[in-house]
Structure 1
């Protein structure tokens, strides 16, 4: 073996490892503490930056859940040939879907920070043919943003718009 490889083997390095600065001892306590300090600062700064994203995702999840609940109520009305009523419960901070024959019931509370302004859609029905009993707007305020749900006449279609 050459002198270079013998000295690397004697210092604890293998054939494919580079020699360490401090004789194969690894990192010093000071270097490790500096890295942990930097890691601590980054982890302390990152979560507050993610809070707005969490609120937006919570709002999107609520809107998707509400849309799915309304589609499920509409499908129940069509399949069972029975009207399904939507009622906004402002005192209980939630909404209720209820079939007139008692075959379907759903109550969904509103998450914190979400407000519903029912407009003219505080209560309506999905008729047995899937149509909606009236058309109009409902507003949802969450996370500093406003969303408008438009219920169109006809097959009970609804669309969600984000208001500026």
Structure 2
């Protein structure tokens, strides 16, 4: 006997909700900021996401995770993963962290701490200060007016 079903399963509804929320998450920043600002927002969101992910990975894997910036290659990322390009309009300067030649590294520890760092990010005519708290490995960003 076949049961006739005239509705959606919970799994189908969850998949649809996930797809809708993913679309809203990706599209909303572009709509709200528009034009050049959307490139700034997209870069900053990606940069912050990668830093926060490095912290989460360190705790989850129980080992040190390295976030690095390669000025010569104009890339950033988590060691062992694909690097992300830094737009030509972006200038990043850092204090704290660790310098290995020209490379700038921030280490996230499995106990939830980090080496800490202060970065200044300039994108066109706008500037932001980014801080990585060494005790809590939290990442904060504020625009410099």
Per the shorter chain, which TM-score range? 0.5 to 0.7
Q: Which runs of 5+ in 1 are unaligned?
A: 1-51, 99-103
Larger radius of gyration: 1
What is the TM-score when the length of structure 1 is the normalising length?
A: 0.60
Q: Secondary structure at the match of 1:128?
A: coil
Determine the structure 1 residue equivalent to 2:144. Answer: 163
- The total of aligned residue pairs comes to 107
Which structure 1 residue ranges, 4+ long, deviate > 4 Å from structure 2? Answer: none
Would you say 1:126 and 2:102 are equivalent positions? no
Residues 61-113 of structure 1 deviation map (CA, whole Å, 9 limit, x = unaligned): 11111111111111111111111112210000111311xxxxx5241111231
**Counterparts in 2 of 1:73 and 1:80: CA distance versus 1, 3 Å:** same
- SS state at 2:84 partner: strand
TM-score (norm 2): 0.67
The residue matched to 1:91 in structure 2 has which SS?
A: coil
The whole-number CA distance in structure 1 between the counterparts of 2:70 and 2:134 is: 23
Q: Aligned runs of 1:73-92 on 2, under 5 Å?
A: 73-92=54-73
Q: Name the CA distance, whole Å, in 2 between partners of 1:153 and 1:87.
A: 16
Structure 2: distance between partners of 1:106 and 1:77 = 17
Q: Report the equivalent of 1:113.
A: 89
Unaligned segments of structure 2, at least 5 residues:
1-32, 98-103
Q: 2:122 aligns with which of 116, 131, 141?
A: 141
Structure of higher RCO (CA pairs closer than 8 Å, 6+ residues apart): 2
Q: Secondary structure at the match of 1:119?
A: strand
